[in-house]
Homo-oligomer: A and B are copies of this chain.
């Protein structure tokens, strides 16, 4: 009986490499009162993890060299010294990249039993879906008929943003990095248009897809893609800054076109957020997303990699754009 865990052995310089990680094994200790042992079923891989690997100031404490990689998992309780979570319970926790973690009962929550398949509790009906729901509705405040542009529109967050936008009666234009993803956004997710930012015609394609301009820009990426969208902003438009994945691996702060005058001229707003701001209201978001899924409206796509030892290699795909939809590690059946 061993617990496999992935350690950040060194901080990445720029793009992370597999050599920044190592697999270690622990023999398992006995449980203290209030603790539970889990068998990890699913591990979520998300772009924000890159920020935690840095020494730079962030919204939560980062990791140090030698720490277990941070991350959210779904696990099954295999041994319990907690009355709240008996053996067999299915729970969510932030125990990081570990196969058989021991956690305290105050660090876990039960997975809503209506969530099926279970992996959705880490994706469309989990943190990424809640990110989409709360920030779009609370910051973006979309009105029927408005145009929403979403970058990384085929990703776990972006796909949910766009589909909620369609559900609310908006026009939705997704941006992604391949024709396959563009086709997916339009054909499967029902977006009004999709634009491939890797094409030379990106700016013209974006312009023609947003003939009425952009009322809400949901930004997952930053960089030149965002620069192009800012030229489409309408009066009183809103920019929701959810992620800046194009910038996370920069060795130093990148320069780009100054853009505050675009906000001035258009009386536009911008707001950054961290989803934990709405932590006490998560049930509202889960209920909304479950209802949308039950009505057949909410589609999703997962890229599943098997085996916790393959998590570092899989994680790197987030930055190359190779993954498609929500990226998950299947740790055990």
Could you give, for residues 262-299 of chain A, a 1 whenever the CB lies within 8 Å of some chain B CB and a 0 otherwise? 11111111111110010000000000000000000000
> Once bound together, how far apart are the Cα atoms of A127 and B53, in whole Å?
49
> Once bound together, how far apart are the Cα atoms of A181 and B268, in whole Å?
31
A268 touches B272 (CB 8 A): yes
In the bound complex, residues from chain B placing their C-beta under 8 Å from that of A244 are 258, 260-261, 264
Using A247-B258, A256-B255, A256-B258 as known contacts, say yes or no to A270 and B263 having CB atoms under 8 A apart: yes
> Of residues A57, A223, A265, A269, which shows the largest number of chain B Cβ atoms within 10 Å of its Cβ?
A265
A200 interface hit (Cβ, 8 Å): no
In the bound complex, residues from chain B placing their C-beta under 8 Å from that of A260 are 219, 222, 226, 241, 244, 247, 270, 272
With both chains docked as a complex, state the minimum distance between the C-beta of A214 and any C-beta of chain B, in angstroms. 15
> Once bound together, how far apart are the Cα atoms of A53 and B257, in whole Å?
22
Number of copies: 2
> Once bound together, how far apart are the Cα atoms of A261 and B54, in whole Å?
14
B255 touches A263 (CB 8 A): no
> Once bound together, how far apart are the Cα atoms of A241 and B226, in whole Å?
19
B267 touches A270 (CB 8 A): no
A257 touches B257 (CB 8 A): no
Residues 185-240 (chain A) with a chain B CB within 8 angstroms: 219, 222-223, 226, 235
> Once bound together, how far apart are the Cα atoms of A254 and B261, in whole Å?
11
With beta carbons under 8 angstroms apart, the residue of B247, B254, B270, B273 that contacts A270 is B270
A33 interface hit (Cβ, 8 Å): no
In the bound complex, residues from chain B placing their C-beta under 8 Å from that of A255 are 255-258
A58 interface hit (Cβ, 8 Å): yes
Which chain B residue shows the least CB distance to A60? B265
A253 interface hit (Cβ, 8 Å): yes
Which chain B residue shows the least CB distance to A270? B270
> Once bound together, how far apart are the Cα atoms of A226 and B254, in whole Å?
16
> Once bound together, how far apart are the Cα atoms of A292 and B196, in whole Å?
55
A312 interface hit (Cβ, 8 Å): no
B268 touches A271 (CB 8 A): yes
Considering the complex of A and B, which 7 residue pairs feature the smallest CB-CB distances, nearest first? A263-B272, A264-B272, A270-B270, A256-B258, A255-B255, A269-B271, A244-B261
The contact sample of 8 A-B pairs, CB cut-off 8 A, is A222-B260, A226-B260, A247-B260, A253-B257, A255-B255, A263-B271, A263-B272, A269-B270
